[in-house]
Structure 1
Amino acid sequence: MIGDFSIHATDGQARLGELHTAHGIVRTPAFMPVGTVGTVKSLCPQDLRDAGSQIILGNTYHLYLRPGDELVARRGGLHRFMRWDGPILTDSGGFQVFSLSGLRKLTPDGVEFRSHIDGSKHLFTPEKVLDIQRNLGSDVMMVLDECVPYGADHAYTLKSLDLTHAWAARSRENHAPGRNGQLLFGIVQGGFFKDLRERSAEAVCSMDFEGHAIGGLSVGESTAEMYDLLAHTAPLLPAHKPRYLMGVGKPLDILEGIEHGVDMFDCVLPTRNARNGTLYTSQGQVNIKRAQYREDDEPLDPACSCYTCRNFSRAYLRHLYVAKELLSYRLNTIHNVRFFLDLAAGAREAVAHGRFEVYKARFREIFQPAEAT
Structure 2
Amino acid sequence: MAQRFGFSVAATDGKARKGVISTSRGEIRTPAFMPVGTAATVKAMLPESVRATGADILLGNTYHLMLRPTAERIARLGGLHRFMNWERPILTDSGGFQVMSLASLRKLTEEGVRFSSHIDGSKHMLSPERSMEIQKLLGSDIVMCFDECPALPATDAEVAKSMALSMRWAQRSRDAFGDRPGHALFGIMQGGVTRDLREESARALTGIGFDGYAVGGLAVGEGQEAMFGVLDYAPGFLPEDKPRYLMGVGKPDDIVGAVQRGIDMMDCVLPSRSGRTGQAWTRRGQVNIKNARHMDDPRPLDEDCTCPACRNYSRAYLHHVFKAQEMISGMLLTWHNLHYYQELMQGLRDAIGAGGLPAFVAAFHAQRAEGDIEPL
TM-score range, shorter chain: over 0.9
**C-alpha distance 212-368 of structure 1, shift in aligned 2 (>3 A):** farther
Q: Following the alignment from structure 1 to structure 2, what is the Cα–Cα distance between the partners of residues 235 and 167?
A: 23
1:102 Cα shift?
5.0
Residues 119/16 of structure 1: CA separation in 2 closer, same or farther (3 Å cut): same
Task: Name the residue aligned to 2:53.
Answer: 51
Deviations 1:222-269 (A, max 9, x none): 211111011121111111000000001110111111111110000011
CA RMSD of aligned residues (A): 1.2
CA–CA distance in 1 between the matches of 2:370 and 2:135?
41
Deviations 1:173-196 (A, max 9, x none): 12235x052100000001121111
- Which AA in structure 1 matches 2:125? L
Task: Quote the residue 2:374 is aligned against.
Answer: none
Number of the residue aligned with 2:316: 315
2-structure distance, mates of 1:366, 1:268: 24
CA distance in 2, matches of 1:4, 1:105: 37
- In the alignment, does 2:353 pair up with 1:352? yes
- Give the Cα separation in 2 of the matches to 1:181 and 1:369: 46
More displaced 10-residue stretch of structure 1: 278-287 or 74-83: 278-287
Aligned pair 1:206/2:207, yes or no? yes
Pairwise mapping of residues 168-317 of structure 1 onto structure 2 (< 5 A)? 168-177=170-179, 179-317=180-318
Aligned to 2:31: 29
Seen in structure 2, the aligned counterparts of structure 1 residues 101 and 153 have a Cα distance that, compared at 3 Å, is farther
Contact kept, 8 Å, 1:282 with 1:303, in 2: the verdict is: no
In 2, the alpha carbon distance for the partners of 1:214 and 1:135 equals: 25
Aligned residue in 2 for 1:66: 68
Correspondences of 1:309-348 after superposition (within 5 Å): 309-348=310-349
1:91 corresponds to which residue? Answer: 93
CA distance in 2, matches of 1:130, 1:366: 44
Gaps of at least 5 residues in structure 2 are 372-376
What CA distance in whole angstroms lies between the structure 2 residues aligned with 1:10 and 1:150?
Answer: 33
Secondary structure at the counterpart of residue 289 of structure 1: coil
SS in 1 for 2:296: coil
TM-score, normalising length: structure 1:
0.97
1:20 partner SS: strand
Please report how far the alpha carbon of residue 366 of structure 1 lies from its aligned counterpart in structure 2 after TM superposition: 3.3
Q: By how many angstroms is 1:101 displaced?
A: 6.7
User: Residue 181 of structure 1: SS of its match in structure 2?
Assistant: coil
- Supply the distance in 1 between the matched residues of 2:367 and 2:277 (Cα, whole angstroms): 21
Q: Is the 8 A contact 1:230 1:257 kept in 2?
A: yes
- Matched residue type, 1:55: I
1:142 alignment counterpart: 144
SS at match of 1:148: coil
For 1:53 and 1:223, locate their aligned partners in 2 and report how far apart those are by CA, in whole Å.
25
Residue correspondences, number: 369
- What SS does the corresponding residue of 2:20 show, helix, strand or coil? strand
Q: Is the 8 A contact 1:217 1:226 kept in 2?
A: yes
Give the Cα–Cα distance (whole angstroms) in 1 for the partners of residues 202 and 85 of structure 2.
36
SS at match of 1:16: strand
CA 71–317 in structure 1, closer or farther in 2 if over 3 Å, else same: same
- The letter of the residue matching 2:321 is L
- Structure 1 residue 205: deviation in Å? 1.7
TM-score scaled by length of structure 2: 0.96
3-state SS, counterpart of residue 18 of structure 2: strand
Cα pair distance change 1:59/1:101, threshold 3 Å: closer
Q: Distance in 1 between matches of 2:80 and 2:278?
A: 30
- For 1:359, the aligned partner's letter is F
- Residue 14 of structure 2 corresponds to which residue in structure 1? 12
Return the alpha-carbon distance in structure 1 between the equivalents of residues 223 and 309 of structure 2: 33
Q: CA deviation at 1:365?
A: 2.2
The CA distance in 1 between the partners of 2:205 and 2:49, in whole Å, is 37
Q: Please list every run of at least 4 consecutive aligned residues from structure 1 whose deviation after the TM superposition is greater than 6 angstroms.
A: none
Q: Percent identity?
A: 51
The one-letter code of the counterpart of 1:229 is V
> 1:162 is matched with which residue?
164
Contact 2:5 2:21 in 1 (8 A): yes
What's the CA shift string for 1:88-142, capped at 9, x where partnerless? 0000011000114752111101111110001111111101001100110001000
Distance 1:369 1:63, change over 3 A: farther
Task: Please give the alpha-carbon distance, in whole angstroms, between the structure 2 residues aligned to 1:284 and 1:171.
Answer: 40
SS where residue 217 of structure 1 aligns?
coil
Candidates 93, 106, 109, aligned match of 1:107 = 109
